[in-house]
Structure 1
């Protein structure tokens, strides 16, 4: 029996309003051999999960023998993320107090869902309004003060629930703002509250092979991953091996971080045959997990796989 643990994001085939469709997707994930899910439905927008829906998800997981690696939280209502052009509902970065607190409430809702599912991390996007900051530099610190207020309110809630927030690297924010937000938050907040989620597809679009430098930069706080491939030009969410990411390098760097298996695939299915797609995804994840384990062993023992450890000198 295989001991491989592997996770996949639940929205690989899209979003579904029908619970029959959601249940079917979870069944297919389990049948394909995946042991864990990364709950990604309603990852964007202002949908609030009922406690009854949370119970239903938990029962699906138990029924199909699935566990939760993490889930994707929502930044709030859909809006222009590059600039401040008004005030939107459920926005944890908003300067309007009602909107900001509603955004905090939305994130707490996902923390509650994570707790019900048994997940230890939620992944969150932080979009810095860089167009506005470029035109009005004085708005940058004000923006972060709102972010800090929200995270200050979330910190005791998350720690009490045992759920960490992992900030994901994005591709539609300039590098300067991307690194600045991570540096700020990881310096200000403790590791049991704030971590880093590496999205390999986004990183490939922004940094290419320098992705490994980013992994090393945040290796002590890297707790979540979104694994997918592309050619560096668009966010296609392809199966690893279909783009130009050099996975041996990525796995070698990842093996030196705080990340713990299973790996999480975040893919888009472009095949009408979902079962065939999941089989292909599983095989790719299996190969990457093998790379990770091999590199992890080399890192912790300093010995290449297959080599023998030197015998200890006996002292008579």
Structure 2
């Protein structure tokens, strides 16, 4: 798809020179990293690591925030929620040293599925505390659509939070696999498409979050590309393929195959539109 490149999930930042060699050899230009490196190292270490990667042509484009009951922005326990907010605030500040564009945050876990409405309120409160820090650090927060029985499974729930907080530093991380497990990937995408600031591309069987490489599950990728083409603001940034390479393969193969899939489907839809216009 025009203007879109693919990032991959990668670690190994403790040895950045080896990471550069390995990633560059596989044609990787941008990565999504795990939060642990940023939360357990000094600002100086984070800055130097990002510099080494940048000099090697690798951008740390996004960072996946911690997930779990102890890191939940909508935790029913106020002390736990407060600590989660502090952890996310620390992550934002650390990511700023590395020039990271966006952290991926989660509305909450499935620890209290009978209290989702309350958890959405607590998540909103957490983001109201984090938004000023995100604006100050210029690291955006991408709120990820979640699996069933979590807060934030629907597009409407995500928009309710974003509209209430009303910060330019907040947007949506649209996860195709999560939306597919909720039974309506296209529908969720349609609702949030104009608030998306990053993507997680993954496939599955519609039941489990299997993180298959597209298109080796049952996600309708034609629907995905079709909705993508209707986004109000043209998306011209990296999308993260949130799947590992196949055994025996590598990132070059992963990026090449997913890029080929998306480009083929976009060309197919463009031809169909052209034929329909000629026939009318």
Which has the larger displacement, 284-293 or 107-116? 284-293
Q: Aligned in 2, Cα 1:304/1:190: closer, same or farther, shift over 3 Å?
A: farther
Query: What is the CA RMSD across the aligned residues, in angstroms?
Result: 3.4
TM-score (norm. length: structure 1): 0.72
Match of 2:85 in 1: 104
Could you tell me how far 1:95 is from its partner in structure 2?
5.5
Contact 1:255 1:292 (8 Å CA) reproduced: no
Distance 1:292 1:186 in 2: 31
Q: Aligned in 2, Cα 1:293/1:161: closer, same or farther, shift over 3 Å?
A: farther
* SS at 1:19 equivalent: coil
Match of 1:313 in 2: none
Contact 1:37 1:70 (8 Å CA) reproduced: yes
Distance 2:133 2:96 in 1: 11
Could you tell me how far 1:295 is from its partner in structure 2?
8.6
Could you tell me how far 1:23 is from its partner in structure 2?
4.8
Match of 2:53 in 1: 61
Aligned residues: 271
Match of 1:50 in 2: 42
Could you tell me how far 1:190 is from its partner in structure 2?
2.4
1:120 aligns with 2:101: yes
Distance 1:190 1:52 in 2: 32
Match of 2:210 in 1: 236
How does 1:187-266 map onto structure 2 within 5 Å?
Answer: 187-190=163-166, 192-207=168-183, 210-257=184-231, 258=233, 259-266=235-242
How does 1:19-34 map onto structure 2 within 5 Å?
Answer: 19-20=14-15, 23-34=17-28
Tell me, which stretches of 5 or more residues in structure 2 are unaligned?
Answer: none
How does 1:59-208 map onto structure 2 within 5 Å?
Answer: 59-75=51-67, 78-79=68-69, 88=70, 91-94=72-75, 98-127=79-108, 129=110, 132=112, 134=114, 140-141=117-118, 143-173=119-149, 178-179=153-154, 181-190=157-166, 192-207=168-183
Contact 2:104 2:141 (8 Å CA) reproduced: yes
Q: Aligned in 2, Cα 1:185/1:68: closer, same or farther, shift over 3 Å?
A: same
* SS at 2:143 equivalent: strand
Contact 1:48 1:106 (8 Å CA) reproduced: no
Q: Aligned in 2, Cα 1:260/1:110: closer, same or farther, shift over 3 Å?
A: farther
Match of 2:9 in 1: 9
Q: Aligned in 2, Cα 1:127/1:98: closer, same or farther, shift over 3 Å?
A: closer
Distance 2:259 2:113 in 1: 43
Could you tell me how far 1:260 is from its partner in structure 2?
2.8
Contact 2:172 2:196 (8 Å CA) reproduced: yes
Q: Aligned in 2, Cα 1:149/1:205: closer, same or farther, shift over 3 Å?
A: closer
* SS at 1:263 equivalent: strand
* SS at 1:68 equivalent: strand
* SS at 1:234 equivalent: coil
Distance 2:59 2:138 in 1: 16
Q: Aligned in 2, Cα 1:293/1:31: closer, same or farther, shift over 3 Å?
A: farther
